[in-house]
Structure 1
Amino acid sequence: MKAIARILLSGALALAGCTTAGADPVTSPTPTIASHFGGTDLAWIEINIAMNEELLPLLDLVPQRSGRPDVQAMAQQTKTFTDAELTALRELHDQAGLPKENPHKNMPMPGMVTSDQVTKAAKLAGKEFDTLVLKALQEHLEQSEKLAGSEDRSGVEPQTRALALQIIRTRHAALSSIKEAS
C-alpha cells in the first residue's frame, strides 16, 4: 500500500509540474490512510496546504507596501478564501490520516511563493511591489486552478473533489480580477 501511495504521489507531483530537486525524500512511515482517499486526493491536499501556507506571508505585506487600492482589495479577497480553504484542507488532511510533516512545504514547484520572493517583496513598495505581488499571485492562482482541475478529474473522495470545484470557481474569478488590474 505504501509503495502504491508513493507511486501515485509521484505521478500527481509530476502532473503538477513539481520537482523533487533539492527536496528531502519522505522517510517517515506512512500512517494508516482512510480507504476512501485516493493517491491524487492525498497529494492534492498536501500540495494545496503547502502552496496556501506559503502564499500568506506575501499577502500579509500588501496593506503596508501596496500603493493601489485594487491590489489591496484583491489581496484581502485572496487571503479570505485562502484562509477558508486552509481550514477545509486541514480537516481533510486529518480525516485522511496524513502525516503532520508536509513533504511539499518549501518544495520548488510552479506557483509556489518562495521565501526569497517574500524577502524581496518586503524590500519593495508601491509600483514595484504591486508588480511583484500581481505576478506571484497570478502564478499561484493559475497553478492552483490546474491542480484543482486534476483533482476534479482524478480524485475519488467526494469532499475533496467538491473543494476542488470550489477552488476552480474562486481562482477563475480572482484571475479575471488580476487580468483587469494588470
Structure 2
Amino acid sequence: MRTNNLRRAAVVTGVLSLALLAGGCGGSGMDHGTMGNGSPTSAAAPRSGATFNATDVKFANDMIPHHRQALDMAGTARSKAATPEVKALADRIAEAQEPEIATMSGWLTAWGEPVPSPGGMHHGDMGGMGEMPGMMTDQEMRELSEATGKAFDTMFLRMMIKHHQGAVEMAGIEQAQGQDAAVKQLAARIAADQTAEITEMQGLLAKL
C-alpha cells in the first residue's frame, strides 16, 4: 500500500511539473508575439510615401496656375512681339514651364490632391484667398492682348518681370519651409532660372 502511495505521488508531481513547464513556454511565446506585433519601431513607422508637407502641396497647387498665366502671356508674345529677342524669350519661358506644370500635376496626383483646373486660374485682382504674388489681373491681360509694336514689348517685359518676381518669392517659401526634396529642388531651379530672366528682361527694356 505504501509503495502504491509513493508511485501515485510521483505521478502527480510529474504531471504538475509538465503543466508548469508548458505554461511557462506558452507565456514566453505570447510575449514574443506581442513584441513582434506591437513594438515601438513598428508602430512609429512613417506612412508610405509621406515625404511631403502642406507647404509642398501649396507650392504645386499655386505654381501651376501661376505658370499657366505665364504661358498665356508668352503665347501672346510669340505672335505679337515686335522684336526677335522678346519672341525668343517667350519661346524659352514656354519650353521651361510647360514640363514643370506636368511635373507638379504628377506630384499632386501622387499625393491624392486635386490638380487645379485650367479654368480655375487665380488672378491678382481676386484679393484675399487665392491671391498669389506676381499674378496679372484680367484687365492687365486684356490690355496686353490689345497692345501692339514697341508698346506691346514694353508692357510684356514689365509684366513678366513682375510675374517672375512673384514666382521667385513663392519658390523661396518652398525652399525654406517645404519637405519634399524633389519639390525643393524644382523651387531652387525656378528661382535661379527666373532670376536670370529678370536680369535679361531688364536689359531688353533698357534697349527699347
Q: TM-score range by the shorter chain?
A: 0.7 to 0.9
Structure having the higher Rg: 2
1:101-123 per-position Cα deviation (integer Å, ceiling 9, x unaligned)? 46x73243321133332222121
Identify the residue that residue 137 of structure 2 maps to in structure 1: 114
Q: Distance in 2 between matches of 1:89 and 1:166?
A: 14
Q: Distance in 2 between matches of 1:137 and 1:45?
A: 20
RMSD: 1.9
* 1:51–1:112 contact (8 Å) kept in structure 2: yes
Task: Give how far 1:136 is off.
Answer: 1.2
Normalised by the size of structure 1, how large is the TM-score? 0.75
Find the partner of 1:78 among 83, 93, 96. 93
Superposition map of 1:12-161 within 5 A? 35-101=50-116, 105-108=121-124, 109-161=132-184
Q: Distance in 1 between matches of 2:116 and 2:175?
A: 25
Letter in 2 for 1:37: F
Task: Give how far 1:164 is off.
Answer: 0.7
Task: Give how far 1:100 is off.
Answer: 3.7
1:8-44 per-position Cα deviation (integer Å, ceiling 9, x unaligned)? xxxxxxxxxxxxxxxxxxxxxxxxxx63221111111
Q: Distance in 2 between matches of 1:53 and 1:35?
A: 28
Letter in 2 for 1:105: M
* Equivalent pairs, count: 149
* 2:81–2:148 contact (8 Å) kept in structure 1: yes
Give yes or no for the alignment of 1:163 onto 2:178. no
* 1:55–1:113 contact (8 Å) kept in structure 2: no
Q: Distance in 2 between matches of 1:171 and 1:97?
A: 29
Normalised by the size of structure 2, how large is the TM-score? 0.66
Give yes or no for the alignment of 1:174 onto 2:174. no
Could you tell me which runs of 5 or more consecutive residues in structure 1 were left unpaired when the two chains were aligned: 1-33
| Identity among equivalent pairs (%) | 22
Q: Distance in 1 between matches of 2:123 and 2:141?
A: 15
- Bigger relative CO (Cα 8 Å, ≥ 6 apart): 1
Identify the residue that residue 14 of structure 1 maps to in structure 2: none
Structure with bigger helix share is: 2
